[in-house]
Amino acid sequence: MTVRLALGLTAVACALVACGSAPARPAEPQEVRRGIAAGVAAIVADAPLELRFNPAPCECPLFEIRLGTSWVRAEVNVDDVERGAAWLALLDATPIEHLPVAVRALGRVDRDVLRTTQGSYAVRVDLRSAVSPPPPPEPAALPDAAPASTPAHAAPVPPTADP
């Protein structure tokens, strides 16, 4: 009798667990998508956008945009393809210990929330121009003729007479 009761309770418990489990999570968390859409809607027209160049080890977009207090991946399109490619090459040459690189730019954020091939969310940003900071120029080569202890622009100091 106790074996039958134990088997019956086990069957009931299995049925309850199978039927009473939480519903499967949706393939796309709507609260995340809504939060991103609200962040895009809150952007003030003609205000500089806060971006950062932050490459990821996956196929995600190279940039992120600040939406409120969060960073969201951003596919960045540049009007001037040639200048955009040069700017991207300078950013891409940034040593990893200096990443992410913050950039303020003027542009427009598309209201559509995208899904990347990796499954993360992203928005599309059409940039008109970088505001600050501009990419630093390449360091100029210094002449080797100047001694290390004396700056190249310093004039020699005349000897002083002893009193």
Specify if 34 maps to a domain.
yes
Say what the pLDDT of residue 85 is.
78
| DSSP class per residue in 54-86 | ---SSSS-SEEEEETTEEEEEEEEESSHHHHHH
Q: Does any domain span residue 87?
A: yes
The total of other beta-carbon atoms located within 10 Å of residue 87's CB is: 20
- From the number of C-beta atoms within 10 Å of its C-beta (0-12, 13-18, 19+), residue 71 rates as middle
- Residue 158 covered by a domain: no
As a whole-number percent, the residues of the chain with pLDDT over 70 amount to: 63
Beta bridge partners of 75: 124
Q: Average pLDDT, stretch 134-146?
A: 51
Query: Is 47 or 156 the better-scoring residue by pLDDT?
Result: 47
pLDDT value of residue 11: 44
Asked if the structure places residue 76 within a domain, the reply is yes
69 domain-assigned: yes
What pLDDT, on a 0 to 100 scale, did the predictor assign at position 154?
Answer: 42
Structural domains counted in the chain: 1
Confirm whether 65 is domain-assigned: yes
pLDDT 10s digits, 28-80 = 578 888 999 999 999 988 888 999 999 888 889 999 999 988 999 999 998 77
Range of the domain at 64: 28-132
